[in-house]
Amino acid sequence: MEKFDKLSGIAAPMPLVNIDTDMIIPKQFLKTIKRSGLGVNLFDEMRYDDNGDEIADFVLNKPAYRDAQILVAGDNFGCGSSREHAPWALLDFGIRCVISTSFADIFYNNCFKNGILPIVLPQEAVDVLMKDAEKGANARIEVDLENQSVTSSDGEVFNFEIDSFKKHCLLNGLDDIGLTMKKAASIDAFEAKAQAERPWA
C-alpha cells in the first residue's frame, strides 16, 4: 500500500449528502476482485448517460477536476453496503483523500486499508473547503497527515482528529497484509517451534 504523508492537490466539490457505495461504484462492476481498473466506473451513473457518453456538468467530467485527488463531500459519505470496491474505485481514479462531516463506519475503515485518508471536520470547515474547491484547478488544498491539518488555498488551517494506529498505518503504507508481514520473523519462529514439538501435525 502506498504511504500517505502530505498531499497538495485539486479538490473536487461534491456537496451531495448520503452518497452511498452504490453511487460510488454501481453493483454491476463488482464482479472483479482486482483493485485496478475501477476508476473509469467511479460514480458511473452520475458520470455517464445511457449511451455511455460523459455528462458534461458532472464535477469529475469537468476539465478542472479530471485530476482531482481530494473530494470535499456532503454528510454521511460512503453509506449503504459494505463493498470494498468503493475505495478501490476512488483510489484507481486518483482520489487519495475524502473530506466530510461524517462517514459510514465500514467505508471509513476500508479507506485506511486501501491508502485513502478520510477526514472528518465540522460543517463550518467543510463549507469553507467546499467553496475553496469550487474555485477549480487553480485552488489546491494541502493535507498534512503527520500534523493532522488541512490548509485551504487561502491559507486557512483546519485540524482534524485521527486514531493513532490508523495514522501510523497510513504514514507507513501498512495494510492488513503489511502489518502481518512485519511479524514474519515471529511467525516463522513459532512455526519452526511447533513443527519441532509436533512433527506429526
Sorted by where each starts, the structural domains of the chain and their CATH numbers stand as 6-174 (3.20.19.10)
Amino acid occupying residue 21: T
What digits encode the pLDDT tens for the residues 72-117?
999 999 999 888 899 999 999 999 999 999 999 999 999 999 999 9
Amino acid occupying residue 3: K
What digits encode the pLDDT tens for the residues 161-180?
999 999 999 999 987 655 55
Q: Which residues contact 187 (CB under 8 A, 6 or more apart)?
A: 180
Amino acid occupying residue 165: F
- The set of cell numbers assigned to 169 is 498505518
What digits encode the pLDDT tens for the residues 50-59?
999 999 999 9
Paired with 149 in beta bridges are 144, 159
